[in-house]
């Protein structure tokens, strides 16, 4: 397929002046090249901006992005990069707490090292991959404008070719002896088959399914909009992607919002044997569902006001005004807190029990009997530094320790004491009046909630719908055109379609048949050369 480059305006023998790059006269249909093979009807032989002699940088850039060859290369490079990007897990999926620079070499050896160094571990968010996608987007815009505009003009004009060369160089062409009545019969047959007819100066143009020619451009516009819709998330407030773990019964701030969420209960249900379609494969412990019943609060002043409540399950997220909470993690029967017996050593009796969370301990707890316990310090992962001062190594409760203060009858000024997991209070400070005995462990479930806001989503779906409309128009409709011209007792018949030549041939045979003309379907097809 040779492209005509850098031509000047072409004047046809019929007198019409065509814009530079035109290959088939816009007016009479005369082929403007010297060739003899089949005509390239792709854009109706119309001139495109990218075929102009480039004069400025803009022309060169335009020409690059208007080239389908360049677009195909860009798509191919994206495709190959994406394949490489799936060879090893991306950084976000690596399921390891190791940093990437250690994880890849350690797990995958030299290949992992190279993979990491070349940045394939985070390919899909890398600047060059995103640049490629953006360039494909630009190419979509430029290719579409470059071709759709001249194509639209050419098709709207409904050219009535008078030049014989136009007929002879179509893939389907027949020259038949015929007269006015044969012409009229064919015309009638075409009309019956719901072709739209245009007639003038001895030429008949019958066409249907023209919309099919615009399918690719509708589809490309949809794809551009899709890229833009995904870019909407760059607008502040349009997109939020966060995560929060909430214990049973706990209320936590929803990150990135003014809301608070309470996990009323988290439940895991398992399949029972009679729920198995084939009981022979039943084994206990197969999860049927994860569900968190939650309450959503909004902070007004110092108070939390309930705004919504309901369940969130896998595949059925909780939604409130565009804020989505997804059930996406679970930890069952985890150590959540300690239940301590507050023991009065003087009276040798229990004052009451307190519950201390290891994740979010209260500031103060009412024990009863006029006593109250204040939590002064909490070290989830206790250790002692060189100076002998206590500190916490991490926020994970590996070795939780508290400094508690009890205030009440007999200890009006308060009595401080240590509570360290795994140690008896008497071993640390035996002289205190009150000690804390471990009475019970509090095991609870923890529910992991994905927090999402994605206000661009409706636009993503809208753009997808446009893509689909374009694809359906382009692939399930066909543009069929038949030209007919009567000249000196000879009928010139030519036909063109953008796809399904077999179907067009069959239709042509049916039309000829109903007009009482026999057409040999094999002989009317002219083979393309240079296969």
Kindly list the residues in this chain that would bind other proteins in the complex (CB under 8 A): 1, 42, 68-69, 71-72, 75-76, 78-79, 82-83, 85-86, 89-90, 92-93, 95, 107-109, 111, 124, 230, 241, 271, 275-281, 286-290, 313-315, 317, 324, 326, 328, 450, 452, 454, 457, 460-461, 464, 467-468, 471-472, 475-476, 499-503, 527-528, 531
Q: Cα separation of 305 and 308, whole Å?
A: 9
Closer Cβ to other proteins, 315 or 348, answer by number: 315
Report the run of H or E that residue 79 belongs to, with start and end.
helix 68-85
The least CB distance from residue 244 to other proteins, in Å, is: 13
CB 374 within 8 A of CB 364: yes
Q: Cα separation of 370 and 388, whole Å?
A: 35
The least CB distance from residue 410 to other proteins, in Å, is: 50
The least CB distance from residue 138 to other proteins, in Å, is: 16
The least CB distance from residue 509 to other proteins, in Å, is: 15
The least CB distance from residue 40 to other proteins, in Å, is: 9
Tokens 């245009």 label which residue? 198
Query: Which backbone phi and psi does 94 adopt, to 5 degrees?
Result: -75, -10
The least CB distance from residue 372 to other proteins, in Å, is: 43
Buried b (16+ CB within 10 A) or exposed e, 285-320: eeeeebbbbbbbbbeeeeebeeebeebbeeeebbee
Closer Cβ to other proteins, 119 or 362, answer by number: 119
153 sits in the region (left: phi over 0; alpha: psi -120 to 50; else beta) called alpha
The least CB distance from residue 309 to other proteins, in Å, is: 20
Greatest extent of the chain over all pairs of C-alpha atoms, in Å: 129
Tokens 């991306």 label which residue? 90
The least CB distance from residue 68 to other proteins, in Å, is: 4
Q: How far is CA 293 from the centre of its chain?
A: 29
Q: Cα separation of 486 and 176, whole Å?
A: 10
CB 319 within 8 A of CB 306: no
Q: Cα separation of 166 and 158, whole Å?
A: 14
Q: Cα separation of 111 and 484, whole Å?
A: 65
The least CB distance from residue 301 to other proteins, in Å, is: 31
Closer Cβ to other proteins, 60 or 461, answer by number: 461
The least CB distance from residue 499 to other proteins, in Å, is: 7
Closer Cβ to other proteins, 7 or 38, answer by number: 38
Closer Cβ to other proteins, 53 or 506, answer by number: 506
Closer Cβ to other proteins, 264 or 319, answer by number: 319
Closer Cβ to other proteins, 442 or 525, answer by number: 525
CB atoms within 10 A of CB 104: 25
Contacts made by residues 80-83, CB under 8 angstroms, sequence distance 24+: 81/123, 81/129, 81/132, 82/123, 82/124
The least CB distance from residue 458 to other proteins, in Å, is: 11
Closer Cβ to other proteins, 71 or 358, answer by number: 71
In DSSP terms, 494 is beta-bridged to 173, 483
**How many Cα neighbours within 13 Å face the side chain of 288?**
12
- Distances 129 to 74, 75, 124, 372, 384 between C-alpha atoms, Å: 11, 11, 6, 60, 49
Closer Cβ to other proteins, 407 or 469, answer by number: 469
Closer Cβ to other proteins, 203 or 478, answer by number: 478
DSSP tally for the chain: helices H, then strands E:
10, 22
Q: How far is CA 68 from the centre of its chain?
A: 24
Closer Cβ to other proteins, 191 or 506, answer by number: 506
CB 249 within 8 A of CB 493: no
Contacts made by residues 343-346, CB under 8 angstroms, sequence distance 24+: 343/434, 343/435, 343/436, 343/437, 344/433, 344/434, 345/432, 345/433, 345/434, 345/435, 346/410, 346/433
Closer Cβ to other proteins, 232 or 376, answer by number: 232
The least CB distance from residue 281 to other proteins, in Å, is: 4
Task: Classify the C-alpha dihedral 121-126-128-133 as positive or negative.
Answer: positive
In DSSP terms, 443 is beta-bridged to 335
Closer Cβ to other proteins, 76 or 118, answer by number: 76
The least CB distance from residue 63 to other proteins, in Å, is: 15
The least CB distance from residue 502 to other proteins, in Å, is: 6
């Amino acid at each position: 397929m040779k492209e005509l480059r850098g031509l000047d305006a072409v004047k046809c023998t019929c007198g019409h002046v065509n814009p530079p790059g035109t290959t088939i006269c816009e007016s009479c249909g005369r082929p403007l090249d010297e060739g003899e093979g089949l005509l390239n009807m792709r854009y109706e032989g119309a001139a495109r901006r990218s075929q102009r002699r480039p004069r400025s940088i803009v022309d060169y850039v335009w020409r690059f992005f208007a080239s389908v060859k360049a677009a195909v290369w860009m798509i191919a490079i994206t495709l190959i990069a994406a394949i490489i990007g799936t060879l090893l897990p991306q950084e976000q999926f690596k399921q390891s707490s190791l940093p990437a620079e250690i994880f890849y070499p350690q797990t995958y050896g030299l290949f992992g090292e190279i993979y990491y160094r070349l940045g394939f571990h985070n390919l899909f968010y890398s600047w060059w991959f995103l640049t490629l996608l953006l360039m494909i987007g630009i190419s979509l815009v430029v290719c579409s404008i470059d071709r759709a505009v001249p194509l639209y003009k050419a098709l709207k004009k409904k050219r009535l070719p008078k030049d014989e060369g136009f007929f002879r160089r179509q893939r389907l062409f027949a020259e038949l002896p015929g007269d006015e009545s044969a012409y009229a019969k064919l015309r009638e047959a075409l009309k019956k088959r719901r072709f739209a007819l245009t007639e003038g100066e001895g030429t008949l143009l019958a066409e249907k399914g023209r919309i099919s020619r615009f399918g690719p451009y509708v589809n490309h516009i949809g794809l551009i909009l899709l890229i833009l819709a995904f870019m909407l998330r760059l607008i502040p407030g349009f997109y939020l992607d966060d995560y929060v773990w909430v214990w049973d019964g706990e209320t936590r701030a929803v990150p990135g919002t003014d809301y608070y969420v309470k996990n009323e209960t988290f439940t895991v249900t398992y399949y029972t044997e009679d729920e198995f379609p084939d009981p022979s494969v039943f084994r206990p412990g197969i999860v049927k569902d994860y569900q968190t019943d939650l309450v959503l609060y909004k902070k007004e002043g110092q108070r939390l006001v309930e705004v919504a409540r309901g369940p969130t399950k896998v595949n059925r997220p909780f939604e409130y005004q565009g804020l989505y909470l997804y059930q996406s993690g679970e930890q069952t029967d985890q150590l959540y807190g300690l239940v301590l017996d507050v023991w009065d050593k003087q009276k040798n009796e229990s004052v009451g029990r307190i519950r201390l969370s290891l994740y979010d301990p209260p500031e103060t707890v009412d024990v009863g009997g006029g006593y109250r316990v204040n939590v002064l310090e909490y070290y989830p992962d206790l250790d002692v530094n060189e100076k002998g001062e206590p500190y916490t190594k991490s926020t994970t409760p590996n070795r939780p320790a508290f400094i508690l203060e009890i205030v009440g009858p007999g200890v009006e000024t308060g009595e401080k004491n240590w509570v360290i997991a795994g140690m008896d209070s008497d071993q640390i400070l035996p002289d205190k009046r009150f000690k804390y005995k471990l009475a019970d462990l509090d095991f609870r479930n923890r529910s992991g909630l994905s927090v999402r806001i994605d206000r661009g989503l409706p636009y993503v779906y809208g753009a997808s719908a446009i893509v689909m409309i374009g694809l359906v128009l382009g692939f399930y409709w066909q543009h069929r055109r038949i030209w007919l011209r009567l000249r000196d007792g000879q009928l010139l018949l030519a036909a063109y379609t953008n796809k399904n030549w077999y179907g067009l041939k069959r239709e042509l045979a049916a039309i000829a048949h109903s007009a009482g003309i026999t057409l040999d379907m094999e002989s009317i097809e002219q083979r393309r050369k240079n296969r």
